[in-house]
């Protein structure tokens, strides 16, 4: 497929300012009309304002709510604008992203798993790249990036001297774009991409803690790099205390707490594979005797703990995304409220709880209001000590605050 724009996407009156400012998305509701042969899959495009000025270029998808993911912005009419080839832009911005991570101190002797490129935050909407030592994992989120996936994998292998690059499309991304298939392709040295069938387990380090990560079966790109800083921050409060890790996955918060001197961690998750990985990770770090796992639904575990009068001085709650779209937000708020009410009931007097949401649809203020109401159900008042976001290798553009998704709120309960 040629990179030369073949479509013109004209914006409705008054809808171009965000694009001039650098917003990476054109929503379908902002499109006045499309000129050119769209076809079933869409294609490269230029975006024009109501005065017929080109404001940028990208890829048009006729089926998606995000109709255009803008790859290049014009910024001013005082200069001519000629769209550059997509792979030239990707290569330049990967190079810039590497320099940014180096400025953040990544990688270092204690951490070799991190986010190398964070979609809109690094100027390439629809593309996420995580690095796991000498393996790269690419998460494709747009048709425009999907058609270039093989070339992107080759470029990454050569630029970073990687042994292999896995390219994956999640069900969420496929559903949003509607024109890209789900699955994972394995691009190894000397071979084209093919369906992933071989082992994809790699041992990495984060904050000096070892993890075995199954890149073929893990969530997202295989590991939640976005919580790295928060795991270390919360661990600082865990020394000498028992910890309850709710929705523990493969043990990020649990292992950091144990490394900080926690007396014991109770880890809860519904996934037997995740709990098995947690136990393996505990063994890798000589923490095997410090954690007890429970394969059970978080709500059920907390309800039973409340009935038995069990409590913990330190609790972390990090559930999966409850709100996958705006239409799910009301139900998600109810789930978060129920979960946090039960967790707060299990918090010892004087204790600390870190509660998280990775639902981008839920604004920070909405999440805090939900926590306030959850505490009120227990006839209590919470104090907020801090609110953290994603790790520093997960930037987002200031013009698109909707890209900020992770909230981690450190709370305690005020005495009655």
Residue 218 pLDDT: 63
Which parts of 218-290 are beta strand (E)? 242-246, 264-269
pLDDT range class, residue 322, cuts 50, 70, 90: confident
Q: Provide the whole-model pTM.
A: 0.93
Q: How remote is the C-alpha of 8 from its chain's centroid?
A: 32
Residues 6+ apart with CB under 8 A from 191: none
Measured between alpha carbons, how far is 166 from 187 in angstroms, rounded to an integer?
6
Q: What is the pLDDT of residues 138-148, one digit of tens each?
A: 999 999 999 99
* Main-chain phi, psi angles of 244, to 5 degrees: -110, 120
Residue 281 near residue 232 (C-beta atoms within 8 A): no
Q: What is the pLDDT of residues 13-44, one digit of tens each?
A: 999 999 999 999 999 999 999 999 998 889 99
Q: What is the pLDDT of residues 40-57, one digit of tens each?
A: 889 999 999 999 999 999
Q: What is the mean pLDDT of the chain?
A: 93
For residues 54-81, average pLDDT: 95
Task: Give the side-chain half-sphere CA count within 13 A for 315.
Answer: 31
- Classify domain 7-80 by CATH number: 2.30.130.10
* Main-chain phi, psi angles of 409, to 5 degrees: -110, 120
CATH architecture of 224-413: 3-Layer(aba) Sandwich (3.40)
Helix (H, G, I), strand (E, B) or coil at 50: coil
Domain boundaries, the chain: 7-80, 87-201, 224-413
Q: What is the pLDDT of residues 189-208, one digit of tens each?
A: 766 667 666 668 999 999 99
Residue 1 pLDDT: 47
Residue indicated by tokens 């209001």: 369
For residues 205-215, average pLDDT: 95
Q: What is the pLDDT of residues 328-353, one digit of tens each?
A: 799 999 999 999 999 999 999 999 99
Residue 262 near residue 314 (C-beta atoms within 8 A): yes
CATH architecture of 87-201: 2-Layer Sandwich (3.30)
For residues 237-245, average pLDDT: 98
For residues 158-167, average pLDDT: 94
Q: What is the pLDDT of residues 72-100, one digit of tens each?
A: 999 999 999 999 999 999 999 999 999 99
Buried b (16+ CB within 10 A) or exposed e, 139-168: bbbbbbbbbbbeebbbbbbeebebebbbbb
Instruction: Establish whether 358 is a catalytic residue.
Output: yes
For residues 393-408, average pLDDT: 93
Measured between alpha carbons, how far is 345 from 310 in angstroms, rounded to an integer?
9
Annotated catalytic residue within 225, 247, 356, 358: 358
Residue 399 near residue 18 (C-beta atoms within 8 A): yes
pLDDT range class, residue 219, cuts 50, 70, 90: low
For residues 243-266, average pLDDT: 97
Measured between alpha carbons, how far is 124 from 118 in angstroms, rounded to an integer?
8
For residues 63-75, average pLDDT: 95
Dihedral sign, Cα of residue 393, residue 396, residue 398, residue 404: negative
Enter the tokens of residue 355: 């509660």
Measured between alpha carbons, how far is 253 from 318 in angstroms, rounded to an integer?
9
Distances (CA, A) of 368 to 26, 299, 333, 412: 30, 20, 11, 13
Residues 6+ apart with CB under 8 A from 369: none
Residue 388 near residue 408 (C-beta atoms within 8 A): yes
Residue 275 near residue 203 (C-beta atoms within 8 A): no
Share of the chain above pLDDT 90, in %: 83
pLDDT range class, residue 401, cuts 50, 70, 90: confident
Preceding peptide of 331 cis, ω within 30°: no
pLDDT range class, residue 221, cuts 50, 70, 90: low
pLDDT range class, residue 2, cuts 50, 70, 90: low
Q: How many CB atoms lie within 10 A of CB 83?
A: 19
416 pLDDT higher than 70: no
396 pLDDT higher than 50: yes
Residue 11 pLDDT: 98
CA–CA–CA angle 134, 136, 139 (5° rounding)? 165
């Amino acid at each position: 497929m040629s990179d030369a724009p073949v479509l013109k996407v004209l914006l409705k009156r008054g809808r171009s300012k965000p694009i001039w400012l650098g917003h990476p998305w054109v929503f379908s509701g902002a499109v006045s009309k499309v000129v050119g042969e769209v076809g079933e899959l869409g294609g490269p495009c230029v975006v024009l304002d109501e005065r017929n000025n080109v404001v940028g270029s990208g890829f048009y998808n006729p089926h998606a709510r995000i109709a255009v993911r803008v790859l290049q912005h014009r910024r001013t009419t005082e200069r001519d604008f000629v769209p550059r080839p997509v792979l030239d832009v990707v290569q330049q911005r990967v190079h810039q992203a590497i320099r940014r991570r180096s400025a953040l101190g990544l990688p270092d002797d204690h951490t070799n798993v991190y986010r190398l490129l964070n979609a809109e935050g690094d100027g390439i909407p629809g593309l996420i790249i995580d690095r796991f030592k000498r393996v790269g994992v690419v998460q494709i989120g747009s048709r425009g990036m999907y058609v270039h996936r093989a070339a992107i994998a080759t470029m990454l292998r050569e630029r970073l001297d990687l042994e292999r690059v896995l390219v994956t499309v999640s069900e969420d991304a496929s559903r949003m774009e509607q024109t890209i298939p789900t699955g994972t392709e394995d691009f190894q040295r000397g071979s084209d991409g093919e369906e992933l069938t071989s082992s994809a387990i790699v041992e990495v380090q984060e904050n000096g803690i070892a993890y075995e990560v199954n890149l073929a079966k893990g969530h997202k790109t295989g590991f939640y790099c976005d919580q790295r800083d928060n795991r270390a921050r919360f661990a600082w409060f865990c020394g000498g205390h028992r910890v309850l890790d709710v929705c523990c996955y493969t043990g990020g918060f649990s292992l950091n707490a144990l490394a900080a001197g926690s007396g014991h961690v109770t880890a809860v998750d519904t996934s037997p594979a995740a709990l098995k990985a947690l136990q393996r990770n505990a063994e890798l770090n000589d923490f095997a005797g410090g954690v007890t796992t429970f394969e059970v639904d978080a709500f059920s575990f907390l309800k039973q703990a409340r009935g038995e009068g069990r409590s913990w001085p330190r609790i972390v709650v990090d559930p999966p995304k409850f709100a996958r779209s705006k239409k799910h937000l009301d139900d998600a708020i109810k789930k978060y409220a129920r979960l946090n009410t039960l967790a707060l009931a299990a918090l010892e007097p004087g204790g600390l709880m870190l509660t998280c949401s990775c639902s981008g649809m839920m604004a920070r203020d909405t999440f805090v209001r939900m926590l306030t109401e959850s505490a009120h159900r227990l006839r209590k008042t919470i104090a907020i000590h801090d609110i953290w976001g994603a790790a520093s290798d997960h930037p987002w553009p200031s013009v698109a605050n909707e890209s900020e998704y992770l909230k981690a709120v450190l709370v305690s309960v005020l005495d009655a």
